[in-house]
Amino acid sequence: MTNEAWLVFGLGNPGPKYEATRHNIGQMVIAELASRIGTSLTRTKLRSNVGTGRLPTGSTPGLPGPRVIVGTSTSYMNDSGGPVRQLADFYGIATERIIAVHDDVDIPFDAIKAKLGGGEGGHNGLRSMTSVLGTKNYLRVRAGVGRPSGRQDTADYVLRPFSKEERTTLPIFVSDLADAVEILINDGLEAVQQKFHSR
């Protein structure tokens, strides 16, 4: 049995070693969303840190909007699919109402893209989700982190903290990504694409 709630899952790795890295920007967005809906993340037996609440509606301010479950994994990135599946099953969330928020090296830092389905682009968290969910047809909000310069390994690059220059605008970027999630839920995929794809 499914319901009308949404599951927004921020991909990343657990623990303080990783929390400030590019690979964990999805989890930073979940923290921002949790603050907006007035909840905190609680560790659960579903291998996730989870909070629930309602978004404000875009069209009618002041009225309670869609119910959302926001979550991050207590497992590592390459095992993201299991916690997502467990949360979706527990809360009765249909696959088309799952939103993965994740880093993307194929778009520049500060760029935001949204899409339904598609490939994984070498992203282990997405690969795990696709494998466990049995479909690519879930929504993604892609946070651009850019590619490493020179010969730096991409896997090493995403596991490093943002640069000093990037950190100056990171809070605004995370806030914009949270806005993108809200617009996606309230107004749909096309509305997000129109607002953010040209930036």
List residues with catalytic annotation.
23
Q: What is the largest CA-CA distance in the chain?
A: 51
Whole-number Å distance between alpha carbons of 98 and 88: 8
Residue type, 126: L
Whole-number Å distance between alpha carbons of 152 and 179: 32
Sheet containing strand 64-73, edge to edge, reads 42-43, 48-56, 64-73, 6-10, 98-104, 139-144, 112-116
Give me the phi and psi of 65, to 5 degrees please. Answer: -100, -155
Q: Is the dihedral of CA 159, 143, 94, 34 positive or negative?
A: positive
Sequence-distant (≥ 6) Cβ neighbours of residue 137 within 8 angstroms:
95, 96, 116, 117
Give me the phi and psi of 24, to 5 degrees please. Answer: -105, 15
